[in-house]
């Protein structure tokens, strides 16, 4: 492609001329038009993205985020132990179901577990309506808890041993020592 020569204003003559002698414009060689600086007169400019090869590398990134929503319910028979202590130990698994969609537990002997199962499933169905459920799982475990009464130096007390890990909870233990700690 050619474009208007701005040096000679398109007439083809050098702007500095003597009165009797005219010289051709050095920029357009006297034609009044010059090659386009973008395409070098070829009519097409070089693509900056592919450098004229016609092939552009592109990348497609797919991001998938998997989330796992967990809820639990602790049926507490011992008022002295809080739920977090029971959550952090293991027990015997007595019921475990896993399916794409679960129904609430109805066959469990303790009705509070069955009611908690129904409530948790209902909460999950309404809390995450835009998410696709891949699997649901029920797991009921029974955590052993032993309440131990003791008498030491005229002090009556009570402590608990709980979980398969046999953790001890003794908030009113009368003495501390340097070699062990009782929680």
Condensed to tens digits (0 to 9), the pLDDT of residues 99-121 reads: 988 899 888 888 889 999 999 99
State how far the Cα of 113 lies from the Cα of 107, in Å rounded to an integer: 10
Q: What is the pTM of this model?
A: 0.55
Instruction: Give per-residue pLDDT as tens, 28-75.
Output: 777 777 777 667 667 677 777 777 777 877 788 888 888 888 898 898
On whether the CB atoms of residues 164 and 91 are closer than 8 A, the answer is yes
Half-sphere exposure of 118 (CA within 13 A, CB side): 7
Residue 29 region by backbone torsions, left for phi larger than 0, else alpha for psi between -120 and 50, else beta: left
Instruction: Give per-residue pLDDT as tens, 120-178.
Output: 999 988 888 888 888 999 899 999 999 888 888 888 888 899 999 999 988 877 666 55
Number of residues in the chain: 183
């Amino acid at each position: 492609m050619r474009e208007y020569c701005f040096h000679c204003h398109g007439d083809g003559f050098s702007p500095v001329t003597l009165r009797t002698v005219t010289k051709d414009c050095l920029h357009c060689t006297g034609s009044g038009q010059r090659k386009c600086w973008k395409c070098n007169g070829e009519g097409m400019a070089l693509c900056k993205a592919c450098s004229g090869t016609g092939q552009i590398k592109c990348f497609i990134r797919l991001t998938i985020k998997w989330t796992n929503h967990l809820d639990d319910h602790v049926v507490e028979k011992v008022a002295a132990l809080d739920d977090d202590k029971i959550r952090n130990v293991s027990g015997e698994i007595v019921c475990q179901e896993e399916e794409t969609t679960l129904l609430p537990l109805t066959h469990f002997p303790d009705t509070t577990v069955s009611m908690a199962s129904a409530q948790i499933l209902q909460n999950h169905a309404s809390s995450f309506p835009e998410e696709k459920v891949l699997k649901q799982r029920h797991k009921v475990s029974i955590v052993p808890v032993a309440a131990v009464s003791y008498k030491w130096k005229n002090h009556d007390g009570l402590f608990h041993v709980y979980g398969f890990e046999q953790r001890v909870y003794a908030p009113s233990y009368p003495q501390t020592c340097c070699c062990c700690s009782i929680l």
